[in-house]
Amino acid sequence: MSKNLGTIRELDPTNMSVIDSIIDDLIEKNYSIQTSLFTESIIQTLFEEGLNLWESGDFRTARIGRGDEEQKRTEIRSDKIHWLDPNALSTTQNEYWKFIDELKVQVNRTFFFGLHDFEAHYAVYPEGAFYKKHLDQFTKTPHRFVSCLLYLNKNWKPEEGGQLRIYKNGTDETDFIDIQPEFGKFVCFLSGSLYHEVLPANRERFSLTGWLRKEAIPFVG
C-alpha cells in the first residue's frame, strides 16, 4: 500500500519556517522543542520499523565513549541501541534524513560549524532503564555538534517516567527542563553545551537519536 510520505507538515505561510524557528531557539537557549514536524504516518512507520528490529533482537547494549575508550557501563546508561546504516535506509528513514540535511545547511549558515555528517540509532529504554547526566560531545573527539531526537511513544504519561532532563545552565542541577518523550516530539540541542540525562522509564521508551557531526565516520553498525 502506497503512502504519501511528505516530510514536513504544511506551515502557515505567515509564520517563519520550522527550521528558522529551530535556529532561533538554538541561538536563544541552546535547545529547541517541536511538536508537529512530521505527519502521524511517518512517525508511526518509523516506530514500526524500530519495533520490528527490537522484536527481532537486533539491538545491543549501549556503550559510552568512542573508539578505544568505548566501554559498557550499565551503571551510567542501560538503554539498547540499533545503529542505522545511511546507505541502507528505508523510504521513511530517508525522508527523515532529508529533513536533517536541510537543518544541517541552516545550522552551518548560522553557526559556521562546518557540519558534514549525520549518525543515528534507534534507542529503546526497557522498563527501569536510564542514562545519567552527560554531554554528547566527547572531550578527545569533539565531532558531535547538534543532538537530534525524535520520540516514538504513543500515549506517554508523565508517571511513566523516561523524561529527557536538560540542564539549562551548565552543571547547575536546580535549573532544568523535563521533556516528555511523546509521540512525534522532536528535540534538538547543542551537543557540547547542555548537560542532560534520561530519567528511569517505567515502560518501554522508543526514540530515533542522532547527531550532526563535523567529521564523517565509516558506518560500523
pLDDT in tens, 118-171: 999 999 999 999 999 999 987 766 889 999 999 999 999 999 999 999 999 988
Res 19 pLDDT > 70? yes
Residues 6 or more apart whose Cβ sits within 8 Å of residue 212:
100, 103, 104, 107, 113, 115, 117, 118, 144, 145, 146, 148
Report pLDDT digits (tens) over 61-70.
Answer: 997 766 555 6
First-to-last alpha carbon distance for the chain, in angstroms, is 30
Q: Count H helices and E strands in the chain, helices first.
A: 3, 11
| DSSP state at residue 104 | H
Residue 180 cell numbers, joined: 516528555
pLDDT tens per residue across span 197-220: 999 999 999 999 999 999 766 666
pLDDT of residue 67: 57
Q: Which domains does the chain have, with CATH numbers?
A: 18-61+76-208 (2.60.120.620)
Q: What is the pTM of this model?
A: 0.89
The pLDDT assigned to 184 comes to: 97
How far is Cα 138 from Cα 128, in angstroms, rounded to an integer?
Answer: 26
Evaluate whether 149 touches 209 at the Cβ level (below 8 Å): yes
C-alpha cell at 33: 522543542
> Strands 176-179, 80-83: parallel, antiparallel or unpaired by DSSP?
unpaired
15-24, 30-39, 73-82, 122-131: lowest mean pLDDT where?
15-24
CA distance 75 to 63: 11
Model pLDDT, residue 64: 78
- Mean pLDDT for the chain? 89
Q: What is the pLDDT of residue 13?
A: 38
The C-alpha cell that represents 197 in the structure block: 540525562
Three-state DSSP class for 26? helix
| Percent with pLDDT over 90 in the chain | 77
